[in-house]
Amino acid sequence: MESELLDLSHKVRSDIIELAFRCEGPAHLGGALSIVEILSTLFGGIMRHDPLNALWEERDRFILSKGHGVLAYYAVLHRSGYFSREILETFKKNGSDLIAHPVMNLSLGIESSNGSLGHGLSMSVGVAWALKQKRSFSKVFTLIGDGECDEGSIWEAAMSASRFKLDNLTAIIDCNGFQSDGRISEDNSLEYLRDKWTSHGWKVATVSGNDISNLLTIFRQTDFNESDGLPRVILAKTKKGHGISFMQDNNAWHHNRLTESFYEKARSEIAGE
């Protein structure tokens, strides 16, 4: 499975570059590239879902809280079979369902709308609680940015999740070390985030978020994922712009436009030329 997920990640990374270039305008690249392996692992190896039955009641739910990572999300949904290449290539075109931040469209596999940061965890808590009331075995996964953890609503939702004993909820924090205006503060460093989430009653694990083997291990680890009344959070250490040398750890590519020369350089790196 690991080799299949590596191949999926490679294709998703290529799709991100293609979409960003073809949309003829700026796009959020750095934060999309940092989460490729996380999304590929979830959709390709961990979550229960069926692209041929997107409204399947027993599906696991994924909510992208850091909505600006949407290029990776759209690419993974396409590669998972939720919609065609033709639909994928409408990204940011007039009338498209695929705009710069996700808009809920369950038929396309998009579980939530997200633009303003800090809302995804609150929605995830509500969905996880509702599933608990229905005695469903479905799980909820949400992906949050480390800079997004500046939002107070994140911590209000975190307290609610532990209070309601939502052990069907897993949050993954994309710890790439940057937010839109620069490096994150010390208050959101990996070490501080571990202490914060632990103090809010969550079970915490730290992994290399661009390493599929690491991700598979933690998602499958029995003692971390057992039903014990504790919500779980995975602090995934990633690199912003991962996989493209001139974008990696370069916050200028948080939101930027790919010129043809940059596009060709990125494409050649992905192809291993």
Instruction: Give pLDDT tens digits for 182-241.
Output: 787 766 678 889 999 999 999 999 999 999 999 999 999 988 888 899 999 999 999 999
**Would you say residue 21 has pLDDT above 90?**
yes
10 Å CB burial of residue 126 (0-12, 13-18, 19+) is middle
200 with 61: CB under 8 angstroms?
no
Q: Where are the beta strands (DSSP E) in 30-159?
A: 61-64, 140-145
Q: What is the pTM of this model?
A: 0.96
**123 is written with which tokens?**
């929605």
Could you tell me the pLDDT band of residue 272, with boundaries at 50, 70 and 90?
confident
Q: What is the pLDDT of residue 186?
A: 66
**Would you say residue 263 has pLDDT above 90?**
yes
What is the fold of 2-271?
A: Rossmann fold (3.40.50)
Q: Where are the beta strands (DSSP E) in the chain?
A: 61-64, 140-145, 169-175, 178-179, 182-183, 203-208, 232-237
Cβ neighbours around 40 below 10 Å, total: 28
29 with 20: CB under 8 angstroms?
yes
